[in-house]
Structure 1
Amino acid sequence: MAKQLLSGKLTSKGQLTIPVELRTLLSLKEGDRLAFVLDENERIIEVQPKIKKSIRGVMGALKSTSSIDVDEAIDQARTERAKEVAVGLKGLENE
């Protein structure tokens, strides 16, 4: 494939207009992000679309400090919240 020079325009707000040919080639849509890969001389050598990560895609990325099961955690949170509500209601009764 022959090299082709595509250019865009940088606005005063730092926004870059990407030529339609490049947007089509990279399958870019409004809101997509780009990663600019630099060489050791801080020159751009590559531009890549940044993949959006879904919540499912990042699940498990943080290591848990305990081995509690999700259902157990939900039950524990419900129990703790019920205790807080009970204490609050008791406070209202004592007023």
Structure 2
Amino acid sequence: MAIYDSTITSKGQTTIPAEIRELLGLKPGDKIRYVAQGNRIYLRVKNGNAMELAGVLHDPSRPRMSLEEMDAAIGDALAEDDRRIMSDWHRHKRSSEVSSG
């Protein structure tokens, strides 16, 4: 694990070390996002858009899907996710009722 230090100016500004900019592929004008989670802060690169991802997951060995097939697959995945969430919620609710007795 590499550790890099930076100093904060009186205006609250800092310079991202060159090694980090290179590692993340940051260039002038790119956006970054700070994500706070507990007492940790994560730096996320936010310099792309969804259209740049087009075709990135294409597997040439798989047959192409129609839009209707994609919609159906997405619907099935959402329905399964909803079932899982509801099951977890009901299990949590039951365990809360038992513990509060």
Structure 2 length-normalised TM = 0.43
Of structures 1 and 2, the one scoring higher in RCO (CA 8 A, sep 6+) is 1
Q: Which has the higher strand share?
A: 1
Q: Which has the higher helix share?
A: 2
Higher radius of gyration, 1 or 2: 1
